Amino acid sequence: MKRPRSFRAQIVLSTVGISGVVLLLFALVTWNTVRLAGLQRLDRDIASDLEPQLAVDSDTGRWGGFERALQMVYGGRQPHAFILLVKDAQGQVVRQSSDWPAEISVDSFPAPITNDPRLRPASPPTSIPPPPPPHHQPINTPGARQWRPEAQPPRLAPKMRLVTPATFSAHWGNGVHWRLGTMANGSVRVVLGLNLTRLDAEMARLGTAFALALLAALAAIAAASWVLSGRSLRPLGRLSDVAEAVTATRLDHRLPTAGTEVELLRLVTVFNEMLDRLERSFHQAVRFSADAAHELQTPLTILQGELEQALQAADSGDDQRVYAELLEEVQRLKNIVRKLLLLSRVDAGEMQPALHPVNLSQAAEAIREDTDAMAPHLTLTTDLQPDVWVMADADLLQQVLANLASNAMKYNRPDGSIEVALSAAPPMARLGFANTGPQIAPENRERAFDRFYRADPARGRDVDGVGLGLSLAREIARLHRGDVTIQESTQERTVFVLTLPLAPR
């Protein structure tokens, strides 16, 4: 059997799943955006450092000064902060940082092309200015790097050259993650690499923060979803409570429509209308059974009286036999009518047992004696615990015991046996009737208490009764807060057990 699934759990799981996907996508997009912004910032730094150096036409010896200037800007941040590579138009390396990684081949950077079509005018310098001309001294001005001539004659401004746009790539070398920027003019190509370790560490911390925030958010969403789904399903819980409270004697229960949520109002209305139809049909059926049984009592009584008079006045033995058989059938019909009347009273809630302490041991002994007299062909054994008192209506209890004993006698082998056992197991008393009758299949054990039910209709025609005794016995037992059940049913025997509350002492 497929295990039922929790609708509330499905709501929570769906909410957490959808929210998790949305939050994860948001975190990935945000993380990638922040990383791209960091790379773009480094790219701008690289371009602004290279472009002024390439825009001026100077000799190759100036690149040492440029590397020292880079050391002033980046060298104090961390070891291996930058790497520099300069190639001339012949492809010769004119400047290379001492810690240039071996994993990054200098041959992967071609020599500059004099007539490169990508050459364009350089932008105004925004970062590291060109190194000082010879005989110039730095001015120690905070926040600025300027140069003051040393009483030398003024020199002409260097010729401005065209430069190519910067291109960027990422490489690993010496265990360091590098961001390399490449620019060239017609005579040199310069490669400047900046260390990405700090950016990678910042992105790792940001990723960890996103992961922790995601877990916390999902936990909060799951808790909120559990609470909200519980509140949303509360009307369905009230509907279930009312449905469980509906019994044959409490068919007037209805769900209130005032204050019901709009989404559930139609369900509540349909449920109440269904209960209206069920109550009307049930009352009609109960009324029909009661009226039919009541109307049959009088003619059956008259018929019984007439047959008794005819039996007494009969002259021949054949007439007496016929009248006697007719009287048995009339008596059988009267028993059926009486049971139908009792069941109709139970269904209508009109049967209220008068509970008093009753000695169940004595009642069981009395029913044993009656059974012994009515079925002398059966072997009867008893195991009755003395002084077992129960709270019961004595007349109704007698009806239950008679029905169980009658059932044990009817459905038995000709040479079978009946065992009656009584014991007290507080707070209940247990009275068992075991007979050597036919086995009742497990799927039919509950149906054995249905009205007019016969497990074997073909065989049942030979047995007196219409299938009302067990149903009436169970209804009466339940009126006493007890029950009648089938404890076991095998090829050897079937055991019916009556349980009733013990009387207080």
User: According to DSSP H, which parts of 314-456 are helical?
Assistant: 317-347, 360-374, 394-410
Nearest-angstrom CA–CA distance, 216 and 390: 61
Question: Stretch 239-258: mean pLDDT, rounded?
Answer: 76
Decide: helix, strand or coil at residue 24. helix
pLDDT for residue 414: 86
pLDDT-derived band at 293 (thresholds 50, 70, 90) equals confident
pLDDT at 144 over 60: no
Cβ distance 81 to 74 under 8 Å?
Answer: yes
Residue 447 DSSP code: G
Nearest-angstrom CA–CA distance, 451 and 456: 14
On whether the pTM is more than 0.75, the answer is no
**Residues 6+ positions from 493 with CB-CB distance below 8 Å:** 419, 434, 435, 436, 437
Look up residue 264 and give its amino acid. Answer: L
pLDDT at 462 over 70: no
pLDDT-derived band at 485 (thresholds 50, 70, 90) equals very high
CA 55 vs. chain centroid, Å, equals 69
Residue 76 DSSP code: T
**Percent of the chain scoring above 70 in pLDDT:** 87
pLDDT at 42 over 90: yes
CA 474 vs. chain centroid, Å, equals 38
pLDDT at 154 over 60: no
User: According to DSSP H, which parts of 357-489 are helical?
Assistant: 360-374, 394-410, 457-460, 469-479
Q: With b meaning 16 or more CB within 10 Å and e meaning fewer, what string describes 197-213? A: bebeeebeebeeebeee
| 189: nearest Cα among 116, 104, 130, 133 | 116
Lowest mean pLDDT across 224-238, 256-270, 455-469, 487-501: 455-469
Report in angstroms the alpha-carbon separations of 466 from 31, 440, 454: 80, 17, 8
Question: Stretch 319-324: mean pLDDT, rounded?
Answer: 87
Nearest-angstrom CA–CA distance, 412 and 400: 19
pLDDT-derived band at 456 (thresholds 50, 70, 90) equals low
pLDDT-derived band at 169 (thresholds 50, 70, 90) equals very high
Cβ distance 195 to 63 under 8 Å?
Answer: no
Question: Higher-confidence residue: 204 or 333?
Answer: 204
Query: What would the pLDDT profile of 351-399 be if each residue is shown by its tens digit?
Result: 888 899 999 999 999 998 999 898 888 999 999 999 999 999 999 999 9
pLDDT at 151 over 60: no
Look up residue 36 and give its amino acid. Answer: L
- Backbone dihedral angles phi then psi of residue 30, each to the nearest 5 degrees: -65, -45
Q: With b meaning 16 or more CB within 10 Å and e meaning fewer, what string describes 288-322? A: ebbeebeebeeebeebbeebeeebeeeeeeeeeee
Question: Stretch 95-122: mean pLDDT, rounded?
Answer: 87
The number of CA neighbours under 13 Å toward the Cβ of 219 is: 6
CA angle 60, 62, 66 (to 5 degrees): 125
Question: Stretch 316-327: mean pLDDT, rounded?
Answer: 86
